[in-house]
Amino acid sequence: MREAASDFFYNSWRLVPANALWGVMLVALMIGTAVWLPLAALACLLALPVAGMHRMAALLQRGEPAGFSDFLHGMRRFAAPALALGVASVVLAAVFTANVFIGLDAGGVVGWSLSAFALYGDVGLAMFLVAAWPILVDPLREDVGVSDRLKLAALVNLARPGRMLALTLVIVVLLTVSVFLFAALLTVSIAYVSLVGTRYVLPAADRLEGRRTKIRAQ
């Protein structure tokens, strides 16, 4: 978190506008949804600036300079996989969350079990996304297929479930606090948690792949 804060401090004039673009899209989506509820389906479009911010974070993690142009390039370069990941995330989160409340409303052993499994699904999805975004836009893995990058994200979670859960909870807490400090959410928080996640996930993925390479060599 300290390294991420340092990254943000020295690159704030690039990261804040990127976060602000995400914020403008969020506000437009909220207004549109209030007018016509089906527009909530466009929430997956928020994945585009998320991909751009993670691209900047990944470049900084790799020791490379990152400018606002890298944010825009990341949105264009990873538009298709980012939108696919966004759509899948929105659908799964909606299904899991709905089942949590359905199970609680049903009551009994079956209802509570359904609610518990759905809650586990939400947590697992959040952990996967924390790992998936940095790996998806990693400049050192652009020649790797998208499916392989997503598999690696899953493996990072399987290899370090406790630490990934802790990282995910930290990010969720930061974003939850930012909801109440709405201006921070619109200008700072998404960029900062992108840096936090990337600072841990990419080194963890590198170490995991290094161990797998050694095992294959043996």
Give the pLDDT confidence of 96-114 residue by residue, as tens digits: 999 999 999 988 889 999 9
Domain boundaries, position 126? 2-217
Give the pLDDT confidence of 151-185 residue by residue, as tens digits: 999 999 999 999 999 999 999 999 999 999 999 99
Asked if 39 and 209 count as a contact pair (C-beta separation under 8 A), the reply is no
Q: In which residue are the tokens 């659908």 written?
A: 91
pLDDT band at residue 213, thresholds of 50, 70 and 90?
low
**Has this prediction a pTM greater than 0.75?**
yes
**What percentage of the chain's residues is helix, strand, coil (to nearest 5)?**
90, 0, 10
Q: Give the count of domains, the chain.
A: 1
Looking at residue 107, its pLDDT comes to 84
